[in-house]
Amino acid sequence: MIRICLNKIDYEYDIRGLLTSFYPGEEIEKNPVLVEEIPDSSFAGDGQSSEGFGEEKSETSVDGKPDRTVYAIYEEDGIRTAYEAGGRISARGKVYVPASDRKATKIALKQELYALFSADTGKELPWGTLTGIRPTKIAMGLLEEGASDEDIRNYMKGQYLTGEKKTSLAIEIAHREKEILSRIDYERGYSLYIGIPFCPTTCFYCSFTSYPLARFEKHVDAYLDCVCKEIDYTAEAFRGRPLNSVYIGGGTPTTLSAEQMDRLLTKVEETLDLSHLLEFTVEAGRPDSITEEKLRVIKKHRVTRISINPQTMKQKTLDIIGRRHTVEQIVEIYELARTLGFDNINMDIILGLPDETKEDVEHTMKELSRLRPDNLTVHSLAVKRASRLNRQREDYAGYHMENSDAMMQITEDYARGMGMAPYYLYRQKNMAGNLENVGYAMPGKAGIYNILIMEEKQSIVALGAGSTTKAVFPDGRIERADNIKDVLLYMEKIDEMIERKKQLFQF
Ligand code: SF4
């Protein structure tokens, strides 16, 4: 158990993020404890470690005894930090930074804590102090201001302590994104997301809005009625603005029957102006939901990109994670899609799945390079609060689940070997190995929607249960409107969902 002690509640979120990165899986006390000082602060200020203060407990101590305590004391002209573990306190000297400069304070605080945690664990984090989900936004922002690669490199290393490899990756991706975005009128345009929240079964790591199809099948037509109502609203509200990309995701969109899929795609095509459309993705997703008939329906519409997601090519892992399909089915469906003429196919894989070794990752990548998809998205397993993996931890305690830089390197080597390059990247909380998710693409095949959502350059209107609409305003302000997650409640309150969007965009 780790305790956070502060003299005022500030930057707590950032401290938690860094702790989670250094001490994955360790519990952090829910509420921080308010203290006036670091215990026996007389030794603090020299930047040296000190010993023997472990018995001194804060008077405001809460239930339970923490194994470790983090201290951050904010003063008008600077911050002081310390870390207590195993009866030893290590304190950092005061860093002088005006409290009014929040950005500088946050950066300094995280640098100081990084030094303390790194000394305690002997670890360096590949992304340094960066704990947010969009590290490439930093490189992109600087690039847009005219900074050179060298400037960006120095800034990221100096401010955020990012490692050489990740810094280079962020810069490479920022360049690629900038080039792709330069071809899109993203400020005037918008993109559309449609969520189909049904799946054949629930994967053990899933935290998305997903309902088992068997129980919800009878509601699917009514659900589509509501999505169509939202499409009508979108067509009306965004009349005259170019629609740049459409993404149908989920859940698993191909849980829709061929007729339902046809109905949805026809509605999109007949209601919205697609004359500026650059990309139309249907995330077919799980092979056990895809049939030839459905692929034929998708092909006859304006869809340009599909996703067929194996996650791994090891059967034993597929069984453990709750995907009721075989490796052979993945290959069959993929080859069928190629035969039907799909020329932009993404495949998702996850690293850090139960008991998977470097050899297993190598095996998956060998199989995928034989298939030669156009896009490859490499995810690091993230333990999400709502997932079965988190809720039933004991059931999975016997499995080793680890992602590593070496595994990421295998995927990168194979992706580059196939002629792909990285084009987008994001991170999530509680990711295995504290690494990242990376999207690779063959030349000219990068997923535009993925870049738009990561760089937050464009408004994305999101329809369906559990989706989040994001409005990006000309001054850079970003505001969101959520649709209710519960699918039945979403349908019941469909007018309210539309009203929320009207309020957000206020056209
Ligand atoms: S396919 Fe995706 S949305 Fe469906 S259960 Fe698995 S992880 Fe969740």
Q: Which ligand 1 atom sits closest to the C-alpha of 286?
A: 1
Ramachandran assignment for 458, one of left (phi > 0), alpha (psi -120 to 50 degrees), beta (any other): beta
Count: domains in the chain: 3
Same-domain check for residues 202 and 273: yes
Query: Taking CB atoms and a 6 Å cutoff, what residues make up the pocket around ligand 1?
Result: 199, 202-203, 206, 208, 210, 250-252, 285-286
> Which residue has 């350059």 as its token pair?
457
Token pair for 119? 């000394």
Per-residue H/E/C for 91-132: ECCCEECCCCCHHHHHHHHHHHHHHHHHHHHCCCCCCCCCCC
Residue 342 is assigned to a structural domain of this protein: no
229-258: pLDDT as tens digits: 999 999 999 999 999 999 999 899 999 999
Q: Which amino acid is it at 53?
A: F
Q: Which band of pLDDT confidence, cut at 50, 70 and 90, is reported for residue 44? A: very low
Same-domain check for residues 89 and 201: no
Q: Which ligand 1 atom sits closest to the C-alpha of 322?
A: 6
Residue 47 is assigned to a structural domain of this protein: yes
Residue nearest to atom 5 of ligand 1 (CA): 202
**379 three-state secondary structure:** strand
Same-domain check for residues 173 and 259: no
The pLDDT score that the predictor gives to residue 40 is: 73
**378 three-state secondary structure:** strand
Alpha-helical regions (H) of 238-357: 258-271, 292-300, 315-321, 327-339
Helix (H) or strand (E) holding 405: helix 405-417
Q: Which ligand 1 atom sits closest to the C-alpha of 202?
A: 5
Which comes out higher in pLDDT, residue 398 or 365? 365
Query: Under a CB-based contact definition with an 8 Å cutoff, are residues 288 and 333 in contact?
Result: no
The pLDDT score that the predictor gives to residue 241 is: 94
Q: Say if residue 397 is exposed, middle or buried (CB neighbours under 10 Å; 0-12, 13-18, 19+).
A: exposed
- Flag whether pLDDT at 57 surpasses 80: no
Query: Under a CB-based contact definition with an 8 Å cutoff, are residues 160 and 137 in contact?
Result: no
Ligand 1 mutation target, pool 252, 318, 325, most atoms within 8 A of CB? 252
Same-domain check for residues 203 and 282: yes
Cα torsion through 385, 388, 393, 398, rounded to 10: -140
Residue 390 is assigned to a structural domain of this protein: no
Same-domain check for residues 104 and 156: no
The pLDDT score that the predictor gives to residue 56 is: 37
144-186: pLDDT as tens digits: 999 999 999 999 999 999 999 999 999 999 999 999 999 898 8
Query: Under a CB-based contact definition with an 8 Å cutoff, are residues 210 and 250 in contact?
Result: yes
Residue 347 is assigned to a structural domain of this protein: no
Rg (alpha carbons) of the chain, rounded to whole number:
24
The pLDDT score that the predictor gives to residue 163 is: 94
Same-domain check for residues 205 and 223: yes
Residue nearest to atom 2 of ligand 1 (CA): 251
Ligand 1 mutation target, pool 248, 286, 330, most atoms within 8 A of CB? 286
The pLDDT score that the predictor gives to residue 64 is: 58
Same-domain check for residues 69 and 103: yes
Per-residue H/E/C for 56-85: CCCCCCCCCCCCEEEEEEEECCEEEEEEEE
The answer for residues whose C-beta is within 8 angstroms of residue 410's C-beta and 6 or more apart is: 358, 361, 362, 365
How many A from CA of 287 to the centre of ligand 1? Answer: 12
Residue 85 is assigned to a structural domain of this protein: yes
The pLDDT score that the predictor gives to residue 457 is: 87
Backbone angles phi, psi at 128, to 5 degrees: 60, -135
Residue nearest to atom 7 of ligand 1 (CA): 206
What share of the chain has pLDDT > 90, as a percent? 74
Query: Under a CB-based contact definition with an 8 Å cutoff, are residues 178 and 221 in contact?
Result: no
The pLDDT score that the predictor gives to residue 507 is: 58
Q: Which ligand 1 atom sits closest to the C-alpha of 205?
A: 7
Token pair for 422? 């990285």
Q: Which band of pLDDT confidence, cut at 50, 70 and 90, is reported for residue 469? A: very high
Considering the entire predicted model, what is its pTM?
0.88
Q: What average pLDDT does range 3-10 have in this prediction?
A: 94
Residue nearest to atom 6 of ligand 1 (CA): 203
Residue 270 is assigned to a structural domain of this protein: yes
Ligand 1 mutation target, pool 196, 201, 206, 207, most atoms within 8 A of CB? 206
> Which residue has 């894989």 as its token pair?
349
Residue nearest to atom 3 of ligand 1 (CA): 251
The pLDDT score that the predictor gives to residue 478 is: 94
Same-domain check for residues 20 and 108: yes
How many A from CA of 312 to the centre of ligand 1? Answer: 14
Of 121, 105, 113, 122, nearest in space to 161 by CA: 113
Q: Which domain, by its residues, includes 149?
A: 136-180
Same-domain check for residues 190 and 260: yes
Q: Which amino acid is it at 380?
A: S
How many A from CA of 15 to the centre of ligand 1? Answer: 31
How many A from CA of 456 to the centre of ligand 1? Answer: 24
Backbone angles phi, psi at 149, to 5 degrees: -60, -40
Q: What average pLDDT does range 476-500 have in this prediction?
A: 96
The pLDDT score that the predictor gives to residue 60 is: 39
Ligand 1 mutation target, pool 196, 198, 203, most atoms within 8 A of CB? 203
Same-domain check for residues 154 and 202: no
How many A from CA of 353 to the centre of ligand 1? Answer: 15
Q: Which ligand 1 atom sits closest to the C-alpha of 285?
A: 1
Q: Which ligand 1 atom sits closest to the C-alpha of 251?
A: 3
- Flag whether pLDDT at 454 surpasses 80: yes
- Flag whether pLDDT at 41 surpasses 60: no
Which comes out higher in pLDDT, residue 6 or 286? 6
- Flag whether pLDDT at 29 surpasses 60: yes
How many A from CA of 29 to the centre of ligand 1? Answer: 31
Same-domain check for residues 20 and 66: yes
Q: Which amino acid is it at 401?
A: M
Q: Which band of pLDDT confidence, cut at 50, 70 and 90, is reported for residue 353? A: very high
Query: Under a CB-based contact definition with an 8 Å cutoff, are residues 4 and 33 in contact?
Result: yes
Per-residue H/E/C for 430-486: CEHHHCCEEEEECCCCCCHHHHHHHHCCCEEEEECCCCEEEEECCCCCEEEEECCCC
Cα torsion through 242, 252, 346, 452, rounded to 10: 30
Residue 214 is assigned to a structural domain of this protein: yes
Residue nearest to atom 8 of ligand 1 (CA): 206
335-344: pLDDT as tens digits: 999 999 999 9
The pLDDT score that the predictor gives to residue 433 is: 65
Residue 318 is assigned to a structural domain of this protein: no
The pLDDT score that the predictor gives to residue 430 is: 67
Same-domain check for residues 199 and 293: yes
Ligand 1 mutation target, pool 202, 215, 288, most atoms within 8 A of CB? 202
Q: Which band of pLDDT confidence, cut at 50, 70 and 90, is reported for residue 133? A: confident
